[in-house]
Amino acid sequence: MTGNIIGHFINGETVKDSAQTQDVYNPSTGEVSKQVSLASKATVEQAITAAQKAFPGWRNTPPLKRARIMFRFKELLEQNADKITKLIGEEHGKILHDARGELQRGIEVVEYACGAPELLKGEYTKNVGTNIDAWSDFQPLGVVAGITPFNFPAMVPLWMFPMAIVCGNTFVLKPSERDPSSTLYIAELLHEAGLPKGVMNVVNGGKEAVDTLLHDPIVQAISFVGSTPIAEYIYKTAAANGKRCQALGGAKNHAIIMPDADLDNVVSSLLGAAFGSSGERCMALSVAVTIGDEMADKLIQELTQAMKKLKLGAYSEMSNDFGPVITKQHKDKIIGHITSAEQQGAKIIVDGRQTQVSGYENGFYVGATLIDHVKPDMDSYKAEIFGPVLQVIRVNTMEEAMKLINDHEYGNGTCIYTRDGEAARYFCDNILVGMVGVNIPLPVPVAYHSFGGWKRSLFGDLHIYGPDGVRFYTRRKTVTQRWPSSGVREGSQFSMPTL
Amino acid sequence: MTGNIIGHFINGETVKDSAQTQDVYNPSTGEVSKQVSLASKATVEQAITAAQKAFPGWRNTPPLKRARIMFRFKELLEQNADKITKLIGEEHGKILHDARGELQRGIEVVEYACGAPELLKGEYTKNVGTNIDAWSDFQPLGVVAGITPFNFPAMVPLWMFPMAIVCGNTFVLKPSERDPSSTLYIAELLHEAGLPKGVMNVVNGGKEAVDTLLHDPIVQAISFVGSTPIAEYIYKTAAANGKRCQALGGAKNHAIIMPDADLDNVVSSLLGAAFGSSGERCMALSVAVTIGDEMADKLIQELTQAMKKLKLGAYSEMSNDFGPVITKQHKDKIIGHITSAEQQGAKIIVDGRQTQVSGYENGFYVGATLIDHVKPDMDSYKAEIFGPVLQVIRVNTMEEAMKLINDHEYGNGTCIYTRDGEAARYFCDNILVGMVGVNIPLPVPVAYHSFGGWKRSLFGDLHIYGPDGVRFYTRRKTVTQRWPSSGVREGSQFSMPTL
Amino acid sequence: MTGNIIGHFINGETVKDSAQTQDVYNPSTGEVSKQVSLASKATVEQAITAAQKAFPGWRNTPPLKRARIMFRFKELLEQNADKITKLIGEEHGKILHDARGELQRGIEVVEYACGAPELLKGEYTKNVGTNIDAWSDFQPLGVVAGITPFNFPAMVPLWMFPMAIVCGNTFVLKPSERDPSSTLYIAELLHEAGLPKGVMNVVNGGKEAVDTLLHDPIVQAISFVGSTPIAEYIYKTAAANGKRCQALGGAKNHAIIMPDADLDNVVSSLLGAAFGSSGERCMALSVAVTIGDEMADKLIQELTQAMKKLKLGAYSEMSNDFGPVITKQHKDKIIGHITSAEQQGAKIIVDGRQTQVSGYENGFYVGATLIDHVKPDMDSYKAEIFGPVLQVIRVNTMEEAMKLINDHEYGNGTCIYTRDGEAARYFCDNILVGMVGVNIPLPVPVAYHSFGGWKRSLFGDLHIYGPDGVRFYTRRKTVTQRWPSSGVREGSQFSMPTL
Amino acid sequence: MTGNIIGHFINGETVKDSAQTQDVYNPSTGEVSKQVSLASKATVEQAITAAQKAFPGWRNTPPLKRARIMFRFKELLEQNADKITKLIGEEHGKILHDARGELQRGIEVVEYACGAPELLKGEYTKNVGTNIDAWSDFQPLGVVAGITPFNFPAMVPLWMFPMAIVCGNTFVLKPSERDPSSTLYIAELLHEAGLPKGVMNVVNGGKEAVDTLLHDPIVQAISFVGSTPIAEYIYKTAAANGKRCQALGGAKNHAIIMPDADLDNVVSSLLGAAFGSSGERCMALSVAVTIGDEMADKLIQELTQAMKKLKLGAYSEMSNDFGPVITKQHKDKIIGHITSAEQQGAKIIVDGRQTQVSGYENGFYVGATLIDHVKPDMDSYKAEIFGPVLQVIRVNTMEEAMKLINDHEYGNGTCIYTRDGEAARYFCDNILVGMVGVNIPLPVPVAYHSFGGWKRSLFGDLHIYGPDGVRFYTRRKTVTQRWPSSGVREGSQFSMPTL
């Protein structure tokens, strides 16, 4: 298998590191399919140096020219979508249609990046004082880095580097070492679109690579998406090294089901939001909070019926609804959460712990699971399960429901199902969560707004992509200017022209 | 009475025109209280010339300094609110609390104008091409003019001149000749706040004054608020003279009362919206469209009860709800509309035609009137009545109600009463009206948004005050700049610094 | 030649009008090459009706989907650039490289239109009052029309319809009947990019077509680019019909050559700016104002030398610098201006009146012409010549030069050549011109700023394309919203959550 | 002296801590004038709790009402300017006119805060998908804290709390314990302006107070201005506690004097920029870099002459140019830097080490000092001296000068003196400094732009006050909303209205 080692992409070329490698699995079959080279400190520094060298030229390239590479990049991503989604499916396990959806959300950020000339406009004031002008300009930072998780190997990197690069920065990306192939291929397409060498670099690796990025003084900023403990580590380490940082962490996204909710809409949208991509999404809807037992009973009944039709299986079969989870270890962890809920008194309504996929017996599958009568003090409620598990909490009032959400450590996404304008407005205003849906289960902001949670779901000031992305990847410079008369302009009695 | 002639305010001084005068009434008593001087063409030109002379200096005054005069102006308006409201009440007839409300909305525009340094920021782009920068700057137009109606002698002028002046223009205002005193006093306060002479000028007058403003080539822009036929004349005449123009006209504002509306809220808010200021507001709510006869019957019943408590009388008594209309002629016109509705088949539920106010028998009073079973082809429905008359149209569906509104020639304001998110969203999206309320009867935009109707309620591109006000009163200038090397900067091998 | 009649493009299909036709020339040869069908009132109404029918569906298409058609349109314009530039060259006469430049500037507006989701963002305020929210939304107008000139058959239409359409409007374009083929082909490409039928329509025609657009009540707005007398007619007629309008007219663009100017840069850039496209550009630089006779003499000398190398000829030869003018009549008019200057006392330094192009003796050619000692009272100075004629005015001070520019009826473009910061800043601030260059001879704003002149070069409030384009093609709607409690949300004692 | 102990301002009342106190000096006389109470952890927590309790009510107060308190606050600051400046002068030592200037720059931020309703507008999108809308809203963070330095006891706090508070946050300020009286008095005025209790709190103290603010989980954000080592500690500690932070540190601000500079302007503006407020400003201009020895010699000569006229003395004498430094220790440190420069080979041209002020022999005075032939490796060049010391470095090219600046650890402010457009543009674009002046020695951005350095002069993403201030003190919330039909709206066949 030595011929099949995934390397790094540095200065426009594939580089292999002579040090360690790690297995890459096909989760649908449970087999090791490739090996990935893990970057040593020296290899990461090579990438940083390449980025540093590319910076002066790239920074001085007019924004419109930078944007035109993004226009071309969008075309190439669309033309090569099948190849990208296959690479995602093979290494991540998500079904091809889901991988295509992921790619599409990433492409939308590229589309937004195409508007760079507008997005980078500064502010100009004539006469801050008599004959004194001032303007603020948003300049790139230099070399910036991204560290991304396994669950969206295409989309999450695309949240970062198109914005960073179109703003004039150069980039070093460390994607997840579990499913790096689609990410690397996308980086190659960006070069095919005309990006100069060294502007975009990808290194695979583990903690050594991460720490090199965090400590190297050339790196100006870090964008991170992953779990909260790591996000916290990234944020504080980056700060201790004087860098700016946005670190997005975990989530526990609740839906409140109000008594006036449109139940058909609730059921159909919860299925996708809870079990799509096996729940391995930071915006997965993992807790349904019902107001009143009547709604709870109806919901449980309808969901139970609907879940029977869900189809679990390998990534390559388009009729499947969702696929395996990322590793055997993660499968065991999810099953442990379900069992813990059961032991602590919750009721397992639909149990996916034993689900098998015929012909793929070694794949890392967990069936869709529905748990009723969950309580806030259960371990399965406190943790982010990141699996196809939907937990139901029954409360009597919207107040109780909102208190649950506001007391939880995470504040990434949430939604309410209601037809009532007042309830929705109150919820949106007062809920301590960054991304809020009204009758929308996965309120991921579109690419021209920005993505980010509150509380321990995001560390930093600025959200990711959208207008905040531009601001994160640029540095304000304010110029104040006055010109002394130099006599070139004759005739000081010249009177002010008037209309 | 010759000693009591109201003059003009030109170049910081009161000026009287030797030509015509016109009576100014106290509508609460029906008596002539003052005379107003009507400006001849020469007097208007004197004001335009003063404004033209003041322009160069004012234009070059830094925006922050211009804004500081607005800060001071706000203080003076607040300190002198009692005097202003009394002047409004005496000549217009609205109750003092209503006049105070009017003034407050005007002050809010002054508050907004205090933010001029932010509002006037231009757009700056480094590197539109290599080493070529560009920026857009919003420069004042020069001399601009406002022509305002009798119904808000303080507020409507304040919608215009604070924005125009803080943007660096100089101004000529022609307020209504029916109630000019509060307007003139406000102009004096603006000078007390530190405005240089000639920047703000007020001329009273009639068509000769208006036409002088419309034809004088020095005047760069016209803001107008009044009736639609005049707005149309102003717009086309200004355009034929090459000027920019925003001309706000009439209205017929409908409220849709949905079956799920909060009836208490409907009734209490309709009272104020229909009868406040005797309905002499371009945002008055003059038509209630009920969905279903059940709602209609309840509404008629509740309104009839509530209208019994309305108190009509002189401007000076704070316990009155509303006062007289502006003139005897206008009173007769309103009564004519009521009679016409009756004759064409509508049912007069509460009849204000004969209402008398004891002790003020010669005042121009019309009582609050409620008319049911109004039909779209009645003359009283097609016209803007501008009196304390609420007409009810009964329909069966929201579709019918929206069609009524969308087919009407005016599109100023409208509102819907409902608790349903979907109904409200559909209404807001699809109604052809510029200012829309959801459970808000008078959806006048706050000063930091902009005011303007659609269809024949506004002629022009830009709404009045708010961000559109800034844009209307400024002209974009775009500079593109490249510097040739002149050898002052030695060392051409200087390499780009990097972080 | 009946087989070669150019028709209209209505509702996605080519339509021919049975009425009149007009000759279309190949100016390089002087021969009639095609005939163009001139739309009757009925044909124009057919286009308006198609646009009206397409509006509801297009308006409701999400901005991102509308933008994606622009992404695809850009690709098609680039892929078919050779065909487009050939069509331009054949009918207009400009050299292919110049036509490619024109197309490129047009494509840049399409690139800007791709950012529609960002550009169409409205303004949102929570709590304009307690529990009352307000937002402003920018909605499309409906059917809008464009009327465009012969000199940029691709670029000027592209300044308008991509912006109008991406904002949700539907469009009727009346291009110049002299060179309509490239325009029609571009409209076809837009449909190939996925635009629904009826959203974009093109009618060829003359005054009847124009007047139909100006008078039809369905048409909401008019964008016009052409000469000032027509712009004035368009503006006042559109306004008299209650429409919004931006009408761009003529120009007389001056360059001030300061004593410290970089002469090499002046000479090389003036050549292109004065003679490129035979001076048939509203941004052509047609007057050089020299400060001091020393600079004037040097400039005349260097220009005379440099002009010897200019190559005049047919559109199809890439080595040519510029080509014929649009018609025989226009050629005669240009020659008349040169002769008039001569008769009124100016000195013809380089005379293009007799210039012949070998092999193309019937083409409409005028050679590059340089005239010295022009005075402000000469007819050739007052008029827009729109030919390859550069006039030099000698003055002694920058003050005199600025007075010339500020006194001229036009205020489209201007530039200054200097190395001095103070002179440039004073010029930019005080010159009464909308588009200003510093060492840039043709300061056409990039697509993400906006294009527009001052004084009699533009009638209306808003410039064309860029941010102003978005504002011109949308109508502000402001919603103010309050929700009454409906009891769905239980537990009124619910206390505000805090962080 | 026990009667003269300065306390804290918590929940609208003055509170004294029973723990430690520290001496407050009058630097002009060198005498202890007061004692300041140093807050224990418990006292700081009391302030935090007060702020936390005040948050829900303040957050829900409409922005316009919050802004109106700022309008009133501005008036009170202006009315009480004499008292504030006297308090500054007594404890800091700067001359009254300088204190008035400081206050004015602070008031400008209050003026900017008055525009909160405009500044807090969110972004609104109709139809992110069909019938799905989204908006982003900028909500306050909760309790936020500021930690401010001795050198601007009024201005730097005013950079922070008006912005934080008008955005809806509640505030705990820890000003410098060396000169807290003006800060406390300003906080009282803010309450007099109508601020509810607990919204603004001031605690005096040292490291215990700082660490309590940094570690308390209720505090959401920290703004800091001070020296770089402390800024670095604040930034990393705040981040380790999951907070957002902007930490502004030290500076070494260079002016480049080009050969074409206007020498009179250079000399007069350098005097104020180098010696004003004894150089105790983070924007003080402490290094002049001359291009060419000719300019250096002339500059030294002119400066030497001009410095003779500088008047040093007590804060209370308006004719003084500058006053004492803050402490005896700081005076000794400054003298140490001068001596070190001398020992390392620089030439002391004007020596302020022995300067005495008659009648104030114990005051902490250092005279204006000019040092020539400074080299980059000298300790006095590397350090921020924060005293009335101007060092001159002689280089031969602009390249060398820019390299010096770009290599220095700080990147706060800088300026260039030139008349040449190209040199200025190159400098502004390529210098690695956040605030840049062209012929402006102290390029402090006006209140409606934002203040912040680059490199080790600022840790964090967002600059202080201005637009960045709004963004720093708010958290983005993005709502995505879809309404299911609920049947309230009858007539599903309702067709889209069209214009």
Is this prediction's pTM over 0.90?
Answer: yes
Q: How far is CA A466 from the centre of its chain?
A: 12
> Which residue of D128, D136, D436 is in closest CB contact with A477?
D436
pLDDT for res B4? 77
CA nearest B141 in A: which residue?
A499
Residue A491 pLDDT exceeds 70: no
Q: Looking at D245, D282, D415, D428, which residue is catalytic?
A: D282
- Strands of C5-6's sheet in order across: C5-6, C31-37, C21-26
Touching chains, D (3+ CB pairs < 8 A) = A, B, C
Beta bridge partners of A287: A254, A391
With cut-offs at 50, 70 and 90, classify the pLDDT of residue B3: low
Kindly state whether residue C443 falls inside one of the protein's structural domains. no
**Is the pLDDT higher at B459 or at C496?**
B459
pLDDT for res A479? 98
Residue A499 pLDDT exceeds 80: no
**Is the pLDDT higher at D491 or at B131?**
B131
With cut-offs at 50, 70 and 90, classify the pLDDT of residue B495: very low
Q: Do C483 and B439 touch (CB under 8 A)?
A: yes
CA nearest C431 in B: which residue?
B477
Q: Do A130 and B60 touch (CB under 8 A)?
A: yes
CA nearest D220 in A: which residue?
A455
Same domain, B238 and B369: no
**Tens digit of each residue's pLDDT (9 = 90 or more) over B125-180:** 999 999 999 999 999 999 999 999 999 999 999 999 999 999 999 999 999 999 99
Q: Do C399 and A75 touch (CB under 8 A)?
A: no
Kindly state whether residue C492 falls inside one of the protein's structural domains. no
Q: Is D69 exposed, middle or buried (0-12, 13-18, 19+ CB in 10 A)?
A: buried
**Tens digit of each residue's pLDDT (9 = 90 or more) over C218-248:** 999 999 999 999 999 999 999 999 999 999 9
Kindly state whether residue B124 falls inside one of the protein's structural domains. yes
Q: Which two tokens stand for residue A1?
A: 């298998």
Specify the 3-state DSSP secondary structure of D314. Answer: coil
On whether any CB of chain D is under 8 Å from the CB of B217, the answer is no
The label of the residue with tokens 């006048």 reads B444
Separation CA B196–CA B59 (nearest Å): 12
pLDDT for res A165? 98
Q: Give, as one character, the DSSP assignment of residue A195.
A: P
Separation CA D93–CA A37 (nearest Å): 63
AA letter at D463: H
> Which residue of B124, B143, B424 is in closest CB contact with A121?
B124
Residue C1 pLDDT exceeds 60: no
- Domain range spanning residue C68? 5-249+457-479
The terminus-to-terminus CA distance of chain D in angstroms comes to 79
Same domain, D219 and D351: no
Contact C348, C367 (CB under 8 A): no
From residue D481, give the alpha-carbon distance in Å to each of A406, C66, D130.
20, 21, 11
The count of CB pairs under 8 A between chains A and C is: 145
- The nearest CA of chain D is from the CA of B94 a distance in Å of 26
Kindly state whether residue B195 falls inside one of the protein's structural domains. yes
With cut-offs at 50, 70 and 90, classify the pLDDT of residue A496: very low
Q: Is D255 exposed, middle or buried (0-12, 13-18, 19+ CB in 10 A)?
A: buried
* Overall average pLDDT of the A144-153 stretch: 98
On whether any CB of chain A is under 8 Å from the CB of B481, the answer is no
Closest CA to C137 of C466, C481, C479: C479
Contact C252, C287 (CB under 8 A): yes
**Is the pLDDT higher at A96 or at D2?**
A96
Separation CA B200–CA B191 (nearest Å): 8
Residue B491 pLDDT exceeds 80: no
Residue C104 pLDDT exceeds 90: yes
Residue D407 pLDDT exceeds 60: yes
Same domain, C261 and C287: yes
Residue B416 pLDDT exceeds 70: yes
Q: Do A128 and B420 touch (CB under 8 A)?
A: no
From residue A191, give the alpha-carbon distance in Å to each of A11, A179, A181, A201, D127.
10, 21, 16, 10, 34
**Tens digit of each residue's pLDDT (9 = 90 or more) over A419-428:** 999 999 999 9
Q: Do B486 and D121 touch (CB under 8 A)?
A: no
Label the pairing between strands D122-129 and C122-129: antiparallel
Same domain, A172 and A203: yes
Kindly state whether residue B231 falls inside one of the protein's structural domains. yes
Same domain, C470 and C428: no
Share of chain A above pLDDT 70, in %: 97
Interface with A, mutate which of C128, C422, C427, C428 (most A CBs under 10 A): C422
Listing DSSP states for D160-211 in one string gives HHHHHHHTT-EEEEE--TTS-HHHHHHHHHHHHTTPPTTSEEE---SHHHHH
Touching chains, B (3+ CB pairs < 8 A) = A, C, D
Separation CA A461–CA D460 (nearest Å): 9
Same domain, C209 and C272: no
Mark which residues 355-374 of D lie under 8 Å from C by CB.
none
Q: Which two tokens stand for residue B4?
A: 């009591």
* Mean pLDDT of the residues in chain C: 95
Q: Do C480 and B435 touch (CB under 8 A)?
A: yes
Closest CA to A348 of A312, A396, A380: A380
With cut-offs at 50, 70 and 90, classify the pLDDT of residue D248: very high
On whether any CB of chain B is under 8 Å from the CB of D135, the answer is no
On whether any CB of chain A is under 8 Å from the CB of C399, the answer is yes
On whether any CB of chain C is under 8 Å from the CB of D128, the answer is yes
Q: Which two tokens stand for residue D467?
A: 């637009």
- CATH code, domain carrying B20: 3.40.605.10
Same domain, C259 and C241: no
- The nearest CA of chain A is from the CA of C295 a distance in Å of 13
Residue D2 pLDDT exceeds 60: no
Same domain, D274 and D147: no
Beta bridge partners of B146: B173, B223
Contact list, C143 vs chain D (CB under 8 Å): 499
Label the pairing between strands C474-482 and C132-140: antiparallel
Residue D489 pLDDT exceeds 70: no
For B43, phi and psi rounded to 5 degrees? -70, -40
Separation CA B386–CA B283 (nearest Å): 10
On whether any CB of chain A is under 8 Å from the CB of D436, the answer is yes
Q: Which two tokens stand for residue C309?
A: 């190398």
H/E stretch holding B244 reads strand B244-248
- The nearest CA of chain A is from the CA of B476 a distance in Å of 13
H/E stretch holding D247 reads strand D244-248
Kindly state whether residue C123 falls inside one of the protein's structural domains. yes
Contact list, D128 vs chain C (CB under 8 Å): 62, 64, 117
Those residues whose C-beta lies under 8 Å from the C-beta of residue A92, and which sit 6 or more positions away, are A27, A99, A150, A151, A153, A178, A179, A315, A326
Closest CA to C69 of C159, C189, C182: C189
pLDDT for res D19? 76
Residue B490 pLDDT exceeds 60: no
H/E stretch holding C414 reads strand C413-417
Residue C315 pLDDT exceeds 80: yes
Of the residues D410, D438, D466, which one is the last residue of a structural domain? D438
CA nearest B64 in A: which residue?
A128
Kindly state whether residue D449 falls inside one of the protein's structural domains. no
With cut-offs at 50, 70 and 90, classify the pLDDT of residue B17: confident
Same domain, C317 and C427: yes
AA letter at D103: L
Listing DSSP states for C14-36 in one string gives EE--SS-EEEEEETTTTEEEEEE
On whether any CB of chain B is under 8 Å from the CB of A166, the answer is no
pLDDT for res D485? 82
Q: What is chain B's percent helix, strand, coil content, to nearest 5?
A: 40, 25, 35
DSSP collapsed to 3 states, D56-89: HHHHCCCHHHHHHHHHHHHHHHHHCHHHHHHHHH
- CATH code, domain carrying C328: 3.40.309.10
With cut-offs at 50, 70 and 90, classify the pLDDT of residue B498: very low
- The nearest CA of chain A is from the CA of D48 a distance in Å of 18
With cut-offs at 50, 70 and 90, classify the pLDDT of residue D17: confident
Q: Do B497 and D403 touch (CB under 8 A)?
A: yes
Asked if B428 is an active-site residue, the reply is no
With cut-offs at 50, 70 and 90, classify the pLDDT of residue A3: low
Q: Do B136 and A124 touch (CB under 8 A)?
A: yes
Those residues whose C-beta lies under 8 Å from the C-beta of residue C435, and which sit 6 or more positions away, are B477, B478, B480, C283, C412, C413, C414, C443, C444, C445, C451, C452, C453
* Overall average pLDDT of the D428-456 stretch: 97
With cut-offs at 50, 70 and 90, classify the pLDDT of residue D3: low
- The nearest CA of chain B is from the CA of C456 a distance in Å of 8
* Mean pLDDT of the residues in chain A: 95
Number of domains in chain C: 2
pLDDT for res C19? 76
> Which residue of B121, B128, B496 is in closest CB contact with A125?
B121
Contact list, B439 vs chain C (CB under 8 Å): 481-484
Closest CA to D239 of A230, A215, A245, A146: A245
Label the pairing between strands A389-395 and A369-372: parallel
- For chain B, give the number of residues: 499
Same domain, B221 and B282: no
Residue B494 pLDDT exceeds 50: no
Residue A41 pLDDT exceeds 50: yes
Mark which residues 446-465 of C lie under 8 Å from A by CB.
446-448, 455
Q: Do A397 and C260 touch (CB under 8 A)?
A: no
* Mean pLDDT of the residues in chain D: 95
Same domain, C390 and C349: yes
Closest CA to C135 of B201, A297, B467, D270: B467
Mark which residues 172-191 of B lie under 8 Å from D by CB.
none
On whether any CB of chain C is under 8 Å from the CB of A14, the answer is no
On whether any CB of chain A is under 8 Å from the CB of D329, the answer is no
Kindly state whether residue C258 falls inside one of the protein's structural domains. yes
Those residues whose C-beta lies under 8 Å from the C-beta of residue B282, and which sit 6 or more positions away, are B151, B225, B248, B250, B251, B412, B457
pLDDT for res C302? 97
Separation CA B61–CA A129 (nearest Å): 8
pLDDT for res C3? 55
Same domain, A56 and A144: yes
Share of chain D above pLDDT 90, in %: 95
Share of chain A above pLDDT 90, in %: 95
* Overall average pLDDT of the B397-410 stretch: 96
- The nearest CA of chain D is from the CA of A336 a distance in Å of 30
pLDDT for res A211? 98
With cut-offs at 50, 70 and 90, classify the pLDDT of residue B444: very high
